[in-house]
């Protein structure tokens, strides 16, 4: 068993994370603990709104608000003009889908493992707009099979390809770059859900060849709840792409029967925004850049791999993660017992985890023969001792202790 070593920065990361003092937080794929800098940015802006008024406070912090786009762009390897802020990742994804606007007879090509809300959106497009939904097959080792997808793209000419980079209910990392190359070569629009990726590992948008990429603040990026973002490529902007239901922030009502698009990705935003949360997201993005995304990936992946090895030693526990590359999300089935009960028992001991159910990933869970799973998602600020404590508590619960 490879036990991850303790990096010299760990004490500082934990000192910057007040929630670590009392909790073993292994639910970073749900919502991570915020660093103090993010919390302070939010609290300071709420205070300013109380003192100045909401509109006046936003004006007073206009430079800081612009810097949020700059920080997110750095995180993605993009430019600030390509970043839109949205209320969450789901909405960012929906805005992109509405801009891509698949219609009757169009083919939307996706994966077996795409996130549940995305799958529901695809099915809604099928029901309401007559879009054909096809899921490319998985490779034997797990994850979408790029060769099979390549053949389907060549044969069926999809209107778009949509792929969840890290589906929420397992450690699977989809080959987004290989799929991006296939889409680029075929000239097929490509939409990526990077909700679980932002803050967990580096993103280099130039290697993805995607038109849109959706993300959220509260997960591995460690920002507040209720805020997300969308990357929109220069190509999509230049082609005049915009969400179907665009408002007076995304466009200007220039004549009685005409509107003019906002030039940059902000045409995908709404007029009204939670500016305190935006500033909190900016602080968390800067914190992530300061820690380093390579560091975040290497440490969180190593802690997850250690977690898998320890869990696999517990009688009755079946680790469910499959795929050529596994990330910082660990899932395990517990001898048929409901994971939600264990999650609550752990929470009572100050250990935070989560418990995806079948409906969170119908295809994947059915294939694995699991009705529910316990999900542990460590981040770089977690420790080996915390994992040991969680595994021992799980073992105790299984033994009926």
Ligand X SMILES: Cc1ncc(COP(=O)(O)O)c(C=O)c1O
Q: Which stretch binds ligand X (CB under 6 A): 43-51, 62-70, 82-90, 183-191?
A: 82-90
Q: What is the DSSP string of 235-254?
A: HHHHTT---SS--TTTEEEE
- CA 148 to each of CA 96, 160, 320, 322: distance values in angstroms, whole numbers, following the listed order: 25, 16, 24, 19
Contacts (CB under 6 A) with ligand X, residues 140-169:
164, 167-168
Which residue in the set 17, 28, 82, 90 belongs to the binding site for ligand X (CB under 6 A)? Answer: 90
Residue 360 makes contact with ligand X by CB under 6 A: no
Closer to ligand X by CB, 57 or 330: give it: 330
Which residue in the set 142, 189, 228, 356 belongs to the binding site for ligand X (CB under 6 A)? Answer: 228
Q: Which stretch binds ligand X (CB under 6 A): 63-71, 193-201, 248-256, 272-280?
A: 193-201
**CB-based burial label for 372 (10 Å; 0-12, 13-18, 19+):** buried
Contact call for residues 108 and 102 (beta carbons, < 8 A): yes
- Look at the alpha carbons of 28, 29, 35, 41 in this order and tell me if their dihedral is positive or negative: negative
To the nearest 10°, the Cα dihedral for 107, 133, 198, 346?
Answer: 180
Contact call for residues 113 and 172 (beta carbons, < 8 A): yes
Nearest residue to the partner ligand X, using Cβ? 168
* Interaction pattern, residues 304-343, with ligand X; x per rule: CB under 6 A: ----------------------------------------
Q: Which stretch binds ligand X (CB under 6 A): 64-72, 88-96, 137-145, 340-348?
A: 88-96
Residue 231 makes contact with ligand X by CB under 6 A: no
In the block, tokens 């820690």 appear at 291
CA gap 367, 388 in Å, rounded: 29
CB of 354 to ligand X, least distance (A): 9
Which residue in the set 17, 28, 88, 170 belongs to the binding site for ligand X (CB under 6 A)? Answer: 88
State the number of binding residues for ligand X (CB under 6 A): 13
CA gap 91, 167 in Å, rounded: 17
CA gap 40, 389 in Å, rounded: 30
The H or E element containing residue 60 is helix 54-60
Report how far Cα 294 is from the mean position of its chain's Cα atoms.
17
Which residue in the set 38, 113, 121, 195 belongs to the binding site for ligand X (CB under 6 A)? Answer: 195
Which residue in the set 112, 119, 216, 353 belongs to the binding site for ligand X (CB under 6 A)? Answer: 216
Residue 119 makes contact with ligand X by CB under 6 A: no
Closer to ligand X by CB, 4 or 199: give it: 199
Question: Pick from 243, 165, 163, 157: which is nearest to 198 by CA?
Answer: 165
Closer to ligand X by CB, 17 or 196: give it: 196
| Beta-bridge partner residues of 317 | 334
Which residue in the set 16, 138, 145, 193 belongs to the binding site for ligand X (CB under 6 A)? Answer: 193
* Interaction pattern, residues 233-252, with ligand X; x per rule: CB under 6 A: --------------------
Closer to ligand X by CB, 191 or 394: give it: 191
Which letter does DSSP use for residue 88 in this model?
Answer: S
CB of 224 to ligand X, least distance (A): 11
Residue 115 makes contact with ligand X by CB under 6 A: yes
Q: Which residues bind ligand X (CB under 6 A)?
A: 88-90, 115, 117, 164, 167-168, 193, 195-196, 216, 228
């Amino acid at each position: 068993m490879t036990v991850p070593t303790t990096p010299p920065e760990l004490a500082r990361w934990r000192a910057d994370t007040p929630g670590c003092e009392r909790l073993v937080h292994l639910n970073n794929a749900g919502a991570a603990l915020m660093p103090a800098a993010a919390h302070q940015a939010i609290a300071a802006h709420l205070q300013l709104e109380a003192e100045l008024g909401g509109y006046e406070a936003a004006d007073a912090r206009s430079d800081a608000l612009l810097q949020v786009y700059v920080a997110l762009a750095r995180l993605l390897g993009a430019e600030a003009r390509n970043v839109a802020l949205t209320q969450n990742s789901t909405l960012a994804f929906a805005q992109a889908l509405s801009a891509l606007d698949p219609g009757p007879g169009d083919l939307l090509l996706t994966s077996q493992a795409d996130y549940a809300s995305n799958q529901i959106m695809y099915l809604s497009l099928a029901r309401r707009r007559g879009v054909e939904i096809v899921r490319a097959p998985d490779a034997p080792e797990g994850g979408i099979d790029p060769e099979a997808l390549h053949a389907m793209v060549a044969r069926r000419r999809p209107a778009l390809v949509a792929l969840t980079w890290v589906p929420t209910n397992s450690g699977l990392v989809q080959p987004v770059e290989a799929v991006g190359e296939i889409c680029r070569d075929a000239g097929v629009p490509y939409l990526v859900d990077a909700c679980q990726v932002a803050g967990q590992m580096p993103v280099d948008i130039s290697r993805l060849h995607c038109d849109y990429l959706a993300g959220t603040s509260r997960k591995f990026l460690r920002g507040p709840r209720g805020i997300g973002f969308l990357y929109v490529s220069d190509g999509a902007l230049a082609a005049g792409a915009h969400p179907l239901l665009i408002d007076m922030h995304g466009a200007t009502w220039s004549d009685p029967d005409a509107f003019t698009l906002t030039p940059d990705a902000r045409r995908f935003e709404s007029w009204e925004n939670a500016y305190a949360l935006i500033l909190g997201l900016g602080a968390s993005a800067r914190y992530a850049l300061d820690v380093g995304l390579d560091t975040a990936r290497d440490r969180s992946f190593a802690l997850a791999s250690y977690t898998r090895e320890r869990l696999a030693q517990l009688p009755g526990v079946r680790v469910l993660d499959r795929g050529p590359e596994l990330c910082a999300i660990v899932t395990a089935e517990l001898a048929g017992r409901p994971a939600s009960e264990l999650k609550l028992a752990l929470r009572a001991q100050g250990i935070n985890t989560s418990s995806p159910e079948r409906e969170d990933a119908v295809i994947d869970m059915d294939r694995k023969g699991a009705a529910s799973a316990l999900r542990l998602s460590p981040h770089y600020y977690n420790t080996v001792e915390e994992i040991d404590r969680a595994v021992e508590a799980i073992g105790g619960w299984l033994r009926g202790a």
